[in-house]
Chains A and B, each alone.
Chain A
Amino acid sequence: DAGVIQSPRHEVTEMGQEVTLRCKPISGHNSLFWYRQTMMRGLELLIYFNNNVPIDDSGMPEDRFSAKMPNASFSTLKIQPSEPRDSAVYFCASSLVRAGDGEKLFFGSGTQLSVL
C-alpha cells in the first residue's frame, strides 16, 4: 500500500486566495483525520471522519475552514479566504478504528502551506 497520500506537498498562496488540500487515505481504513501543526500550538486536531461522516469538527478554527469526504478514498480541506495565520503544516491521517479502541494513526507526508 502507498500509505496516506496528500497533495500538494507545498502550497504558497496570497492572502485572500482559496486553498484546497487533498488526501487519499489507506484503503480499508474507516477513519480520517485532519491535523494542523505549528511550532507554537503543536499538532491540533481540526476534524475527523468515520465512514465518510464528519464526527467532530470542533477543532476547525473558523468558518473559513471546511472539509469534505465524498467517498472512502478522498477528502479535502478547504480554506477560503486564506490568511497568513493559516500558515502551517497540514497533516491527513487515517486509521482502522474498531469499537472505539485506540488504533494507530497513519500520517501522510503533510502539506506545507504558506500564506503571504
Chain B
Amino acid sequence: QKEVEQNSGPLSVPEGAIASLNCTYSDRVSQSFFWYRQYSGKSPELIMSIYSNGDKEDGRFTAQLNKASQYVSLLIRDSQPSDSATYLCAVNRQGTYKYIFGTGTRLKVLA
C-alpha cells in the first residue's frame, strides 16, 4: 500500500462547478496535510494546509480532514479553466521533516 494515494484522473468538471479531489494516507501518526498545485512544466506550489479534523476554507478552496478515516480532500468551488493542473496531496509525520506526496490528480476544467 502506498503511503499517500490519489486517483490519477483526469477529473473533468465544467467551468463554475465544484471539483472534489480526494487523498488517503496509511500512516496514522501523520499530523500535517497539504495540497499543492502543479501546472504542467512548473514546480509545485502550496495552496492549502490543514492540521486538525474538520474543514478549512480559503477563498474558493476548502480542505477537509478526517483522521479517523485517514482521508483528506480538497474542494474547489466555482472552478475556473485556470484551475486546470495536477493537485498533489502531501502528509507530514509529527516530529519528522519528512513530507510524502501522492502521485497527484489531474484536474481539467472545461470552459
Contact = CB atoms under 8 A, between A and B. Distances in A.
Interface of A: 31, 33, 35, 41-45, 48, 50, 55-56, 91, 95, 97, 100-102, 104-105, 107-110
Contacts of B104: 42-43
A105 B102 contact: no
A48 B101 contact: no
A109 B45 CA distance: 11
B17 interface: no
What 8 A-B pairs are tightest by C-beta distance, nearest first? A102-B32, A42-B103, A102-B92, A107-B43, A100-B95, A43-B101, A104-B46, A31-B97
Contacts of A44: 101
Interface of B: 31-34, 36, 42-46, 49, 51, 88, 90, 92, 94-104
The dominant DSSP class at the A interface is: strand
Contact of A42 (B33, B46, B102): B102
Contacts of B99: 33, 45, 102, 105
Q: Which of A35, A43, A100, A101 has the most CB of B within 10 A?
A: A43
Contacts of B101: 35, 42-45
B88 to A, nearest CB: 6
Nearest to B34: A102
Given A43-B104, A48-B97, A107-B44, 11 more contacts: A42-B101, A43-B44, A43-B103, A44-B101, A45-B100, A56-B97, A91-B44, A100-B94, A101-B94, A102-B92, A105-B44
Contacts of B45: 107
Contacts of A50: 97
A45 B96 CA distance: 13
A49 B96 CA distance: 11
Contact of A102 (B43, B49, B102): B49
A105 B100 CA distance: 12
A45 B98 contact: yes
A37 to B, nearest CB: 9
B6 to A, nearest CB: 9
Nearest to A110: B43
